[in-house]
Amino acid sequence: MIKFGTGGWRAVIGDEFTKENIQTLAKALCDKMKHEGVEKKGIVMGYDRRFLSKEAMQWAAVVFAAEGVKSYLINKSSPTPLVMYYVEKHDFAYGMMVTASHNPAIYNGIKVFTAGGRDADETQTGEIESYIAKVEKPVAETEYDAAKAQGLIEEIYPLNEYLDNIMAAIDMDVIRKSGLRVVLDPMYGVSETSLRTLLQTARCEVEVIHDRHDTLFGGRLPAPSAATLHMLQTYVTDKHYDIGIATDGDADRLGIIDDTGRFLHPNEILVVLYYYLKKFKNWQGPAVRNICTTHVLDRVAEAFGEKCYEVPVGFKYVSAKMNETNAVIGGESSGGLTVRGHIKGKDGIYAGMLLVEMIAASGKKLSRIIADVEAEFGSIQMEERDYHFNNEKKAEIRKILLEDKQLPELPFEIEKVSYLDGSKVYFRNGGWVIARFSGTEPLLRIFCEMPDPKDAAKVCEIYESYLKLER
């Protein structure tokens, strides 16, 4: 069954990620485009390095061709932000990216983008699902080479256009003068060409690890985290690099290692970039974060006389609120962020270059910049825990937290409780805890941020005991 979550449709390869389902989705999207009268604009599609990604893109394209809808196929594995950029800049009504982002290698999936290069929202994906239910099988398709000959499939590679757009937004001159040394870890994904080109154009010294094409991602989860970036940390410290930049499988999220070898949590990156854009570049406007992201961002916003807006998990909500409020930056604790004036979705490549610009412009080590911001606004003390469950356990947890709206006995005074996305408790001491189901994996996630990290761990343990959870 094709069901969209917070990051598009994702499924296990050979289980639900099949040619039949991919072509069913393509036919449904084609029907939707025809109903809306936008089929003449065509559709742009890209793919990452996962198993069957290129084939899946082509399977979808031949369905569009059979319906007389032209597909523009990016003919090399590419970052998701490139597809979003191309949809926006060339006024496509829809785009598709074949990727499962940071999921394990056994997964693949499809992200759908709408006008303006935005992630399809719940209304849009719900409509696609309703069209899927009406698709009659087998789905018609046109042979690939025949479709190319008829002009219904056109292969493109607009990477340079995307890179030029980033170079125009980043202060490349200040980076050129800095002589920075950078090590990249694409995590066997698609960012290597983009980031290497940008950094070398800015005359940085660049080394790359884990850059070969490996559909198993070296046996690791292609998600840049403290647990997956040990080799990047070693490279930075042993060879004295200024920064280590890692991106997930489709390069829309990033992980950073500072000059001391410390992994920077995405929360820290979001806070420090907002501070940089406000303090050093004098940008005006609020910030946007999801409901699981640090409230230190709120304190930075308040210090500059701005507001920080809270939205549900899913970057479509972040980008929508950014558009509504003309926000400077928007991001999530999972590692995705974007900046005003760039694309309407997260971009690990752009974010990585902005961090390099910040180091160059400040003349300080990244560790020093982080320490300065912490000294002014306080450190981020967050506990994050994931729990697997079966369907029976999921129903039990859902009933307790979301239907009956019960809470465990908590040792801190509660200010309010929100059910915007999951169950979030706000404490009067400025701390908070949220329990919510992942939209991309079968997990219950608990996040807790408190002034004292011991208290954050304690609150998580209270929830574990109350819900009878096992890690």
Looking at 157, 183, 207, the residue that finishes a domain is 157
* pLDDT at position 97 over 90: yes
d(CA 446, CA 424): 10
The answer to the question of residue 15 being in a domain is yes
- Which residue in 70, 110, 445, 455 sits closest to 292, CA to CA? 445
CATH classification at residue 452: 3.30.310.50
Q: 176-201, pLDDT tens digit by residue? A: 999 999 999 999 999 999 999 999 99
Upper half-sphere CA count for residue 262 (Cβ side, 13 Å): 12
Q: Is 97 exposed, middle or buried (0-12, 13-18, 19+ CB in 10 A)?
A: buried
* pLDDT at position 111 over 90: yes
> For residue 155, what pLDDT is reported?
98
Q: Give the amino acid at 310.
A: E
Cβ atoms 242, 268 nearer than 8 A: no
The answer to the question of residue 3 being in a domain is no
Q: 204-228, pLDDT tens digit by residue? A: 999 999 999 999 999 888 999 999 9
Q: 435-444, pLDDT tens digit by residue? A: 999 877 788 9
The answer to the question of residue 188 being in a domain is yes
> For residue 86, what pLDDT is reported?
98
Both 312 and 187 in one domain: the answer is yes
Both 263 and 177 in one domain: the answer is yes
**413 lies in which domain range?**
382-467
Both 187 and 254 in one domain: the answer is yes
The answer to the question of residue 148 being in a domain is yes
The answer to the question of residue 321 being in a domain is yes
Looking at 377, 405, 421, the residue that finishes a domain is 377
Backbone φ and ψ for 331, nearest 5 degrees, come out as -165, 175
Both 346 and 414 in one domain: the answer is no
> For residue 84, what pLDDT is reported?
97
> For residue 1, what pLDDT is reported?
83
Both 354 and 264 in one domain: the answer is yes
Backbone φ and ψ for 376, nearest 5 degrees, come out as -85, -35
Cβ atoms 76, 213 nearer than 8 A: no
Both 134 and 57 in one domain: the answer is yes
Both 65 and 175 in one domain: the answer is no
96 Cβ contact partners less than 8 Å away, ≥ 6 residues apart: 29, 43, 44, 45, 46, 57, 60, 83, 110, 111, 112, 113
- Which residue in 322, 263, 264 sits closest to 289, CA to CA? 322
> For residue 316, what pLDDT is reported?
87
**Mean pLDDT, residues 338-351:** 94
Q: 223-263, pLDDT tens digit by residue? A: 999 999 999 999 999 999 999 999 999 999 999 999 999 99
Both 187 and 206 in one domain: the answer is yes
Q: 390-449, pLDDT tens digit by residue? A: 888 999 999 999 999 999 999 999 999 999 999 999 999 999 999 999 877 788 999 999
- Which residue in 413, 440, 410 sits closest to 332, CA to CA? 440
d(CA 456, CA 404): 24
**Mean pLDDT, residues 354-375:** 97
Structure tokens at 382: 């967050």
* pLDDT at position 471 over 80: no
CATH classification at residue 95: 3.40.120.10
Both 371 and 390 in one domain: the answer is no
The model's confidence at residue 7, banded by pLDDT at 50, 70 and 90, is confident
* Sheet architecture: strand order including 308-311: 308-311, 287-290, 329-331, 337-339
- Which residue in 360, 384, 358 sits closest to 373, CA to CA? 358
> For residue 107, what pLDDT is reported?
96
The answer to the question of residue 414 being in a domain is yes
Looking at 377, 403, 425, the residue that finishes a domain is 377
Number of domains in the chain: 3
Both 312 and 167 in one domain: the answer is yes
The answer to the question of residue 302 being in a domain is yes
Mean of the per-residue pLDDT values for the chain? 95
Backbone φ and ψ for 447, nearest 5 degrees, come out as -120, 135
The model's confidence at residue 93, banded by pLDDT at 50, 70 and 90, is very high
Both 354 and 393 in one domain: the answer is no
Cβ atoms 339, 354 nearer than 8 A: yes
Both 170 and 148 in one domain: the answer is no
Identify the bridge partners of residue 243 per DSSP, sorted by sequence position.
182
**Mean pLDDT, residues 57-72:** 98
The answer to the question of residue 4 being in a domain is no
